[in-house]
Amino acid sequence: MVLVASSVLQLSSERIRELNIRVVEYPLFVNGEPYPASIHMSWADKQALREIIKEQRNRVTTAGLGHAELVQAYHSAPPGRVVHMEQSLTVTSASAEMMNQVAREYPRLDLVQFDTRAIAAAYSIQVLEAARAVHRGIADDALLEFISTNRRNTGHLGVIYDLSFLHRSGKIGFAKALLGTAFNVIPLLGSSGEPGRLTSVGRAKTAVQANSLFLRRIAEEMKARQGKRISALIAYCGDHEKEALHMKELLQDMRWETGLAGRPVSGAATVEVHYTNHSAIPHQGPDFYDIGYVIYAD
């Protein structure tokens, strides 16, 4: 079995190689011209791209997955099932059409194209959990059940610091961006509801306050789902490793009340922290960190 993902995956290139994940690249453009970017870019190259995105006069965009790249990823795999896990297809209709086209062209290919209905870190944690399961030797049919269950139990929270970027990308209005910048408001976002759509879940003045609010929401979800453990991925861009590591520490020390016993329980949390990849920066901006997590009841 081979696992395929796209370059919105927020894992380091070393982790991707270690887990043998095949990545299909989203093309990147700067002011209409192709930009040399890949999932294996160095940190310095990512920083150079970040500086380009920070410059307000530049327009940095991505395009849908390409036909040749999808065919190459599927057909270069060893014989057996190919499982392509993709970010929410409601936010990438061009990729959805191309994936369907390739599937029609190669009906004999043992191919599963799976819509995670998630974006950013929420997409990434689903792929990471699937890759871990494949690495452990999970059977084909068991994997499909596993990733379907995970999809239902995935959450997503994040902080985007650059409010001017949110305005430029059409996510908030000019007045909100100006007001938030003037009062140093940190917008807290989530996408655990409608697939692929970021919505406001609150605001904070500091990262410590933001993380505390995130932890409270996650603990409430753990209690509601009678969760016994959690697996999380925290991705960041810019100088926000400290905030990401603080959130990791909070998750690993988290306590919540179980729905059965009603007593505080220390969490069994598996948490990885990664610097983001190039495909996420044009959509989330040059300064952010986000948390994708899967809650398990077993």
The mean of the pLDDT values for the chain is 88
pLDDT of 167 above 50: no
The model's pTM: 0.91
* Secondary structure (DSSP) of 208-243: HHHHHHHHHHHHHHHHHTT--EEEEEEEEESS-HHH
**pLDDT at residue 171 greater than cutoff 90:** no
pLDDT given at position 194:
65
Q: What is the pLDDT of residues 179-188, one digit of tens each?
A: 444 346 787 8
Q: Is the pLDDT of residue 285 over 60?
A: yes
| 112 closest CA partner among 2, 17, 7 | 2
pLDDT at 24 over 70: yes
pLDDT digits (tens, 9 = 90+) for 111-148: 999 999 999 999 999 999 999 999 999 999 999 999 99
Scan for tokens 């004999």, then name that residue.
108
pLDDT in tens, 219-237: 999 988 889 899 999 999 9
User: CATH for 154-296?
Assistant: 3.30.1180.10
Q: How far apart are CA 16 and CA 3, in angstroms?
A: 11
Architecture of domain 2-152: 3-Layer(aba) Sandwich (3.40)
pLDDT at 266: 58
CA 35/CA 32 separation, integer angstroms: 9
Q: What's the CA gap between 227 and 211, in Å, rounded? A: 20
pLDDT above 70 (res 178): no
Domain with CATH 3.30.1180.10 in the chain: 154-296
Please determine, for residue 163, whether its predicted confidence score (pLDDT) is greater than 90: no
- Which residue intervals of the chain bear CATH 3.40.50.10170? 2-152
What is the per-residue pLDDT for 164?
A: 62
Residue 184 has a pLDDT of 64
